[in-house]
Structure 1
Amino acid sequence: MSRLHVYPVKGCRGIDVARAEVHITGLAIDAIHDREWMVVDRHGRFVTQREYPRLALIATTIDDRSLTLAAPGVGTIQLPRALPGESSQGVRVWHSNVRGFDAGDAAARWISAFLGAELRIVRFDHSRQRMCNPDYAGDSGAHTLFADGYPLLVIGQASLDDLNARLTAKGAKPLPMNRFRPNVVVAGLDPYAEDHLDTVESDGVTLRLVKPCVRCKVTTTDQATGYVGFEPLPTLSTYRRDDALAGVTFGMNAIVIAGAGRTLAVDSAVNTEYRF
């Protein structure tokens, strides 16, 4: 287990951690869950770096009382763990109609000022469940929060190393792992071995890898600057196209099948089982 990442706010900068709590819905730090918060437009529809690359510039930190967001030019805003709203409201992630608690007018003014649009911030309503696609998750009962579709994304470090070798061979710059926004990075595998893994187990936690992750233009956004470039999609399209999924893939979406409530830790040993 080489790296763990939690993204409290969908689309914003993640947090690198040495240890993370494991829940059915993914990783968490101090009871703040991965993709538990989300930015929405005035219609309640989710927005991400696809529309607003500058979301990458919003840093997230967690303390005992709140989640704090910081961005250039607008300072910080604290999102309390307990929101004042009495009832959740309908919001939308892709084709899923879910519910979230509004973080309040101060948070809305802050995010709107930074991104230059009428936006609000919401927190997932944990009294509801957003089920994963049973075509891939089966009857596992897997559900997620505001992630695109699954609780976790797993990538092998060797896969990025191989991609970077291809990029440098054509004169392009190598890319950091944060372009792909994984939760779990595993070292010691062959390149793209994760494509063929059934399970990954560490410290009593078992993840099942259920669906290749189709990559979008977020991978072309520099997560340190918000600048949108060209790579890696052109290079990935030369050897990672999946016609069945109508896109290029990199990494595997995963669900938790055992060990919810336990902790994953960087540098812990990993056991893997292949599907063949």
Structure 2
Amino acid sequence: MPEFPSNNLVLGGLVACAVGVLGISYLLRRDRRKFTQVGVVSKLFVHPIKSCRGLEVSQAECVALGMRSDGVMDRSFLIVCPEGRFVSQRQQPSIALISPSLSEDKESVLVNAPGMPTLTVHLEDPKGPVYNIKLWRLMVEGEDCGQAASEWLSQYLGSPGYKLVRHSQRFKGKILRDDPTWGSRAKRGEQATYQDLAQVNILSVASLDSLNSKLDKPVQIRNFRPNIVVEGTPAFYEDKWKYVRIGGDAVLRTTHLCGRCRQTTVDPDTGTFIESGDPLKTLKSYRMAPSGDPDGKLYGTSPLFGTQLAVESHGSIKLGDPVFASMD
């Protein structure tokens, strides 16, 4: 008598076919996106410590939790105040002068600030106490980087009890779909570390030039803390990009435009607020969400400058890479 395949074999075959159909469907859908070159990568930044000075790098990887360069993740360290809240330049503008760099052996982050000795923080997990910290609307874990880091921050900020925490590899990231404001733009399983919203921020040189043409005193790209800076595209053209492809493999998906806040008014060279209230004041004069924008209520009183993106496909990017965008 002929032998018939077992139920398990039939089921396995059906699953394999389904996976194959889904894979082909994804590739066809991706191929239907009309990618057009919109510029080139002119600057790349990774900000190891949230709200502190960023590292300008020549290449980086787009991975599940955001941007990474030489093993250092973007915004993977966080300053926490004595009351247990995260600290940004909004409360402590002087942290703009805290400058992390990577040690020669690439095993430590070296932290410097005016008038302070160098603090060495090993990239190996410290295995210190773990805290639950509220980062805007979501809770996220942070592992204490130790007493030396606490004393360094407390001395620099002039008050005891500050801590430096990091996102350990043992932790999950914050689940972006849980965000009550922008969670609907995230896909199942997408996570981040200590970024405010999505994993990656893009800004164009032309958009900064447009803003500076309206200011009495120009500001720097560092006022806005992007990860990827694009040159060769018209001002604010990045508002229209739905998908971005860089370096062949890295594909990013725009989740929403970036609403800007008071942090943009901190001078990155002095660590003090700019008295005029610019560039935020000027941005509010011409970069508010347009009337009828369905996201207008979500942006509130924040002007829009740059785009927030999630990582769809991992890949390496470097300075000079062509940037392709799809408007669909």
Q: AA paired with 2:326?
A: E
**What aligned pairs does 1:34-183 form with structure 2 within 5 A after superposition?**
34-63=74-103, 64-117=106-159, 118-126=161-169, 127-132=171-176, 133=179, 135-167=183-215, 172-183=216-227
Which one has the largest radius of gyration? 2
For residues 197-254 of structure 1, the C-alpha deviation after alignment (integer angstroms, 9 at most, x for no partner) is: 1011111211111111111111111111112112111111111112431021111111
Aligned to 1:198, which of 242, 245, 256? Answer: 242
Residue range with higher mean Cα deviation, 2-11 or 115-124: 115-124
CA contact (8 A) 1:88 1:125 kept: no
* Aligned-partner Cα distance in 1 for 2:324–2:203: 15
Aligned to 2:284, which of 209, 227, 237? Answer: 237
Residue range with higher mean Cα deviation, 81-90 or 222-231: 81-90
What's 1:266 paired with?
319
Residue range with higher mean Cα deviation, 137-146 or 200-209: 137-146
CA contact (8 A) 1:213 1:253 kept: yes
Percent identical: 32
CA contact (8 A) 1:166 1:235 kept: yes
What's 1:215 paired with?
260
* TM superposition shift of 1:159: 0.6
What's 1:30 paired with?
70
Question: Which stretches of structure 1, 4 residues or more, deviate above 4 A after TM superposition?
Answer: none
CA contact (8 A) 1:155 1:250 kept: yes
Q: AA paired with 2:240?
A: H
* Aligned-partner Cα distance in 2 for 1:95–1:269: 35
Across the aligned residues of Structure 1 and Structure 2, the Cα RMSD in angstroms comes to: 1.4
* Structure 2 residues not aligned, in runs of 5+: 1-40, 290-295
* TM superposition shift of 1:142: 2.0
- Secondary structure (helix, strand or coil) at the match of 2:84 reads coil
For residues 89-142 of structure 1, the C-alpha deviation after alignment (integer angstroms, 9 at most, x for no partner) is: 222211211111101011000011101123100001332121224645332532
For residues 127-181 of structure 1, the C-alpha deviation after alignment (integer angstroms, 9 at most, x for no partner) is: 21212246453325321101111111111111111111111xxxx1111111100
* Aligned-partner Cα distance in 1 for 2:225–2:128: 33
* Structure 1 residues not aligned, in runs of 5+: none
CA contact (8 A) 1:12 1:59 kept: yes
Q: AA paired with 1:264?
A: I
CA contact (8 A) 2:65 2:173 kept: no
- Secondary structure (helix, strand or coil) at the match of 1:2 reads strand
For residues 36-71 of structure 1, the C-alpha deviation after alignment (integer angstroms, 9 at most, x for no partner) is: 000001232100000000111111111222111001
* TM superposition shift of 1:7: 0.2
Residue range with higher mean Cα deviation, 150-159 or 81-90: 81-90
CA contact (8 A) 2:125 2:168 kept: no
Give yes or no for the alignment of 1:184 onto 2:224.
no
- Secondary structure (helix, strand or coil) at the match of 1:206 reads strand
* Aligned-partner Cα distance in 2 for 1:102–1:86: 5
* Aligned-partner Cα distance in 2 for 1:213–1:176: 17
* Aligned-partner Cα distance in 2 for 1:138–1:176: 30
